Amino acid sequence: MTVEPRAALDRLIAALEAHHHAVATRRSDDDPAVDDAYDVLADAYEVYEDSLATVFGEVTPFYLADEVDEEEDEDDDEDLDDIDFDDDLDDADESAQEDEPQPARQG
């Protein structure tokens, strides 16, 4: 059963407003109202996106990111800590300098 795009848009707008209200009135970093509003917003977006695609053959320029386990995310951050970005930049600078033409020496 396809939802009418206009009805899905109205639901999406209401979900955006509810999410904004939940964020603006957050009581703590772990306020469940914000998490709930996030989930409702994500669902409303997916219904809207599906209805646009089904009825009009169109999509929005947005996408929902895949949720990542916080534990996996922390592991990725730790992996980045092991990388010495300064060494990579130094190597790139040296390589670029080797490729630059040297001025002719006058004698």
Q: Mean pLDDT, the chain, as a whole number?
A: 81
pLDDT of residue 104: 58
Where exactly are the structural domains of the chain?
1-67, 69-99
Q: What is the mean pLDDT of residues 40-65?
A: 95
Over residues 2-25, the pLDDT tens digits come to 789 999 999 999 999 999 999 999
Chain center to CA of 37? 18
Over residues 26-41, the pLDDT tens digits come to 999 999 999 999 999 9
Phi, psi of 96, rounded to the nearest 5 degrees: -65, -35
Distances (CA, A) of 20 to 25, 31, 37, 54: 9, 13, 8, 28
pTM, two decimals, is 0.61
